Amino acid sequence: MKSITIGLGLFLLVVTACPEPALAQPGNFDTSLHKTRAGKNYWYGAENGGFESFTNVPIEDLGCEGCHGPNDADGNPYEEPYEPNCIDCHRSNDWGVEQSQCLGCHSRQNIEINQLGYSDVHRDMGFQCWDCHTTGDLHGDGTPYNSMLEPGAIDADCEDCHNMDPNHGGPHDGKLHCTTCHAQTVISCYNCHFESQVEAHVKRAKQTLHDFVMLVNREKDGKVYTASFQSLTYQGDAFVAFAPFTSHSITVNGRTCTDCHVNLGGTNEAITQYNETGEIRFAEWDDDNKVLDWIHGVVPLPEDYESTLKMDFLTYTGDPSDPPPGDPNLWTGIGKDTWDGHQLFFGSPLTREQMTELGFAEPCPADFDGDGDVDTADLLFLLAAWGTPDGDVDGDDDTDTADLLALLAAWGECP
């Protein structure tokens, strides 16, 4: 139990009675995600539009379902065939657990801490994973979940310990989750080379991306929340899966208004790109110098992200069994900056209203050719589409006189 009061100027943060440590007997372990590993196939499986639709390789052939670290909690190498068990996390002589055992499987948190060295206010205070995650989170609550992101699967949240001053968050009225402002970064292992996984059971990504957060509306509570993605290529096909992401890189002092709001005088590369070009080029690959560049900072996922968010997709031309990530000179672009398939699970992009509040430019629906203005070319397109939905300007799924008048009223440069 912890009780700490921290004065932070504009608001008061009170850490009150936190959940009991998650050390209770795991009577529901068989339904827990630690046992079922259901999240992997829920994302990958063809029945949910996963990457299996492109690879035609069942998850059983990938070596993912039986994934485990090199040693169990007693320090002994695992025997095959592997079956999830208490010994994965708990020492057999006293049922104790070390946080290093958690990080052996939760690789992104391991990267945050041990590879990139991000601080976290909770770790700095001596917190361990189980100080926030209840026994239901770790050992199951009797309900089989498809993913840890599914509502109900994870109980831990900021409000369990923090009693916020009602004025904290200013004009957002509780619409932002704490992590939106207080998480330093999310993590993405950029562009997994799936041939390596299929042919050699080697996990190979080009590199770890960090120092950015995407923003989505989280399904669990309807609040704006940080998100990340996983990108993959296989035999020329590109795939991306987006989802909310809980970073463990929390700071006391959060972001300021100008980190997100260009309409309040802020600088935000993603929004600026969108307003100037109609696209957000999140990741760009320089094939001559073998360098990947990406947008740092806040990247709001816009309502029309499926057509406006761009990232260059890569492949590895070396031996699939090479130690990861492989020779950097053997990575190359596949000539695509749009995906062939994608998922957005447990969240949704920002609405047009939310985009406007951040300073995204209003849409220009009469600019059919996307060149930034409404002119003769757009007029000719509308006339050719008369009577069909293709030239719709006013949103009624038809092209008629009302659309012609709307186009003429918008004549000239888009706002």
DSSP 293-318: EE--EEEE--TTHHHHEEE--EEE-S
**What is the pLDDT, as a whole number, of residue 6?**
43
The answer to whether 285 and 212 have CB atoms below 8 angstroms apart is no
In this prediction, the residues of the chain whose per-residue pLDDT falls under 50 are 1-17, 21-22
- In angstroms, the CA 350 to CA 360 distance is 11
The string of pLDDT tens digits covering residues 267-323 is 999 999 999 888 999 999 999 999 999 999 999 999 999 999 999 999 999 999 999
Q: Where are the domains of the chain?
A: 17-163, 170-363, 373-413
User: In degrees, to the nearest 5, what angle opens at C-alpha 44 toward C-alphas 38 and 45?
Assistant: 80
User: In degrees, to the nearest 5, what angle opens at C-alpha 64 toward C-alphas 60 and 68?
Assistant: 130
How far from each other are the two terminal CA atoms of the chain, in whole angstroms?
55
**273: enclosing H helix or E strand:** helix 269-277
The string of pLDDT tens digits covering residues 220-245 is 999 999 999 999 999 999 999 999 99
- In angstroms, the CA 298 to CA 282 distance is 11
The string of pLDDT tens digits covering residues 174-207 is 899 999 999 999 999 999 999 999 999 999 999 9
Task: Give the pair of three-digit tokens for residue 405.
Answer: 């008048």
- In angstroms, the CA 13 to CA 212 distance is 25
- In angstroms, the CA 86 to CA 92 distance is 8
Q: Which residues contact 211 (CB under 8 A, 6 or more apart)?
A: 184, 185, 296, 297
For 176, which DSSP code?
B
Q: In this structure, what are the phi and psi dihedrals at residue 149, rounded to the nearest 5 degrees?
A: -85, -10
Prediction pTM value = 0.84
**What is the pLDDT, as a whole number, of residue 218?**
97
12, 13, 165: which is closest to 2 by C-alpha?
13
The answer to whether 208 and 189 have CB atoms below 8 angstroms apart is yes
Q: Which residue has the tokens 């199951």?
A: 140
At 227 the three-state DSSP class reads strand
